[in-house]
Structure 1
Amino acid sequence: MVKLTENELKLVNDIIDNNKSFKFNQNNPKRLGAYNRYELYKSSTNYKEFINADGKRDDFKNDYKKGFITLDNLSNLENNNLVNNNLENNNLENINLENNNLENINLENNNLENNNKYNFILGNCLEVLKEIPDKTISLIITSPPYNIGLKYNKYKDKKPREQYLEWIYDIFVELKRVLKDDGHIFLNMGYTNKDPWISMEVAMKLKDLFILQNKITWVKSVHINGVLNKNSDERVDKTFGHFKNINSERYINVTNEDLYHFTKNDKVTVNKKSVGVPFEYKCNLIDRKTGQHKIDKKTGQPMEDKRCKGNTWFIPYKTITSKKDKGEHPAIFPEELVEHFIKISDIKEGSVLDPFCGTGTTVNVAKKMNNLENSKYNLSGIGIDIDEKYINYCKERIKG
């Protein structure tokens, strides 16, 4: 028998009312270090109980005793031991996250599998964030509305300036709370010629919350002089990346956006070489005694000579006009940008969060990194958005 807190009782009742199952652990008072495993599901008044035979977590799946308990009414459960909120399988797809049940989820021990590992939550991000436990998120990657008048389905991207800045601040207070002490936040902010200050004002607003560890310029397109024409020996000028028509007599086209790298303290390190660029001269990679390539002690592989690519990243932004390709979202960023954030943060395990997930690129890239050949990544992903169309799109996209 177990005794549920009020919030746990509400969660279980909600799940059972919807004919869903609920899994959790409970410490076993008779054996130190042992625990009982429960799975509750609606079948009249019968609920199934799994008890670990030897108390070892690693052996649970292959070695357990089966028993049954009958509960007439969940509210009448009695026992001194409260339910352990660390849901063993974190079966998020069986939990109604829209009803603020996140407090029952231990993201730090996230052992989700398949699509349970990647979750999209419909709701106001400020409200949803309040339900996420403290210090459970390893990496936050996000691009909030820029307040420059872009056309979203469910959000008006033109608040009064101070109201917008206060709104951003309140959200980042919550993001700081849920972020682990050694975690990273990467914030992408755009701007326009008519409003060039917005990105900088947002960064200044967050000055008292975070260490601004790095400020990076994301170059979405670049003009190169003297490119060799494929069809002749003639050299021409070309622009690579995002393209916009020249439609102003006053302004130069904006071809970059700002990337802010925030941390909670100044002890957090980054892996610069993970997104480094090859160095041309390789002589220092050869062992003088053997004549062979030097071996990287960490990877066991021949050393690569890479240099930090600096704080200007040229990551082409594909010009997309099709609503099908954009997921009907006015501001999407490329997967390569998210890959850079994950690699440079050097986080191999943990939860990645995007509170303005849009079409779900952040979570999709987390899945992509997990699925790399010989991958060292084991990331879970959470995306939050206020627009049901985007959430539905994300759920379909993650299946691909």
Structure 2
Amino acid sequence: MTEADSARAPRLRRYRIGLQEIVRGDCLRVLKRMQEHSVDVVVTSPPYNIGLSYRSYPDRRAEEDYLDWMVAIGTQLRRVLKPDGSFFLNISGSSAQPWLPFELAVRLRALFVLQNHISWVKSISVGVDSFGHFKPMNSQRYLHRGHEHVFHFTCDGTVQLDRLGAGVPYKDKSNIARRGHSQDRRCRGDAWFIPYQTVRGRAEKFDHPGTFPVALPEQCILLHGREQAHVLDPFMGTGTTLLAAQNLGCTGVGIDIDADYVAVARARLRDAMAGRSE
């Protein structure tokens, strides 16, 4: 961050709600102040650099500038992550910019090991049926984009996971005794079907262009498998990762530069703690 950028950056503000801390501020500035090796799990979805309409962030940087910025953030995430921590990065390109997620993953190779590559399936067709919310696609050149990437990075590639904690019951129950399993639970695999609820406008997504369902960060935290984990989302948006952390009894820190998104995140956490539906 340059001196001019620092002067324009909003004053840091911190809010404590339940087990969660919300920080309004520039994420790189906040990360540099965080304690080394203090985070168990990072779950985040940064701007994709494909022209989405965020309130306080221009999502159209030059590609090299964007990648350099994300590597600078990745460097700080590597510093604050515990040696046995997990960094789940949700990102997607566009039909016209399909390479960008992979370019970023390659850049981050200098900092992390790509331990798992998960496909978050948002919508799918099976036979003549379909499941999930299909965003309209008008182009005659491209297929409907029904998935996004979740890159699971670790420091050295040897992190032990709770695959059954994030698993699913067996479809064929005979597999339990026949294969000597101790419980009705199997690994979920690396394709996760987690659909959005159908929305009819941005207001139902809290006027944010890049939300994800609470179930996505919940599965990431469960897969990492540490009880009372300390969770970080440096691009918190409307607070979905913190909701997941709160639901699972984990502490968390969420960072966002936009005051309105911070207000939404605070309200969602308060409502969740009061037992009100979203």
TM-score range normalised by the length of the shorter chain: 0.7 to 0.9
Q: 2:226 aligns with which of 330, 344, 347?
A: 347
| Residue 172 (structure 1) shift | 0.6
| Residue 286 (structure 1) shift | 5.7
Partner SS state of residue 305, structure 1: coil
Q: How does 1:181-220 map to 2 (within 5 A)?
A: 181-220=83-122
**Residue 107 of structure 2 aligns to which amino acid in structure 1?**
K
Q: 1:178 aligns with which of 69, 74, 80?
A: 80
Contact 2:17 2:266 in 1 (8 A): no
Could you tell me which residue of structure 2 aligns to residue 272 of structure 1? 163
**Residue 93 of structure 2 aligns to which amino acid in structure 1?**
Y
Could you tell me which residue of structure 2 aligns to residue 164 of structure 1? 66
Q: Deviations over 1:201-251 (max 9, x none)?
A: 1101100100110001111100122xxxxxxxxxxx222112122311111
Could you tell me which residue of structure 2 aligns to residue 299 of structure 1? none
Gaps of at least 5 residues in structure 1 are: 1-96, 102-113, 226-236, 288-293, 297-302, 371-378
Could you tell me which residue of structure 2 aligns to residue 356 of structure 1? 235
Distance 2:171 2:80 in 1: 42
Q: 2:146 aligns with which of 255, 258, 280?
A: 255
Alignment length (residue pairs): 259
**Residue 239 of structure 1 aligns to which amino acid in structure 2?**
S
| Residue 308 (structure 1) shift | 1.9
Q: Deviations over 1:114-161 (max 9, x none)?
A: 825211111110001011010011110000000000000000001000
1:127 equivalent to 2:18? Answer no
Distance 2:122 2:174 in 1: 34
Q: 1:284 to 1:203 in 2, by over 3 A?
A: closer
1:313 equivalent to 2:196? Answer no
**Residue 97 of structure 2 aligns to which amino acid in structure 1?**
D
Distance 1:284 1:248 in 2: 44
Could you tell me which residue of structure 2 aligns to residue 13 of structure 1? none
**Residue 143 of structure 2 aligns to which amino acid in structure 1?**
I
**Residue 273 of structure 1 aligns to which amino acid in structure 2?**
L
Q: How does 1:1-400 map to 2 (within 5 A)?
A: 98=12, 115-225=17-127, 237-283=128-174, 285=176, 303-370=182-249, 379-400=250-271
Partner SS state of residue 200, structure 1: helix
Partner SS state of residue 67, structure 2: helix
**Residue 32 of structure 2 aligns to which amino acid in structure 1?**
K
CA RMSD of aligned residues (A): 2.0
| Residue 281 (structure 1) shift | 4.1
Distance 2:76 2:32 in 1: 7
Q: 1:159 to 1:284 in 2, by over 3 A?
A: closer
Q: Deviations over 1:90-113 (max 9, x none)?
A: xxxxxxx927x9xxxxxxxxxxxx
| Residue 283 (structure 1) shift | 4.5
Distance 2:91 2:176 in 1: 39
Q: Which has the larger radius of gyration?
A: 1
| Residue 395 (structure 1) shift | 1.0
Partner SS state of residue 12, structure 2: helix
**Residue 322 of structure 1 aligns to which amino acid in structure 2?**
G
Partner SS state of residue 270, structure 2: coil
Question: Identity of counterpart residues, as a percentage?
Answer: 40
Q: Which structure would you say has the larger RCO, counting Cα contacts within 8 Å and 6 or more residues apart?
A: 2
Distance 2:79 2:33 in 1: 11
Structure 1, 149-158 or 271-280: larger mean CA deviation: 271-280
TM-score under structure 2 length normalisation: 0.88
Partner SS state of residue 396, structure 1: helix
Gaps of at least 5 residues in structure 2 are: 1-10, 272-278
Distance 2:130 2:90 in 1: 23
Distance 1:350 1:216 in 2: 21
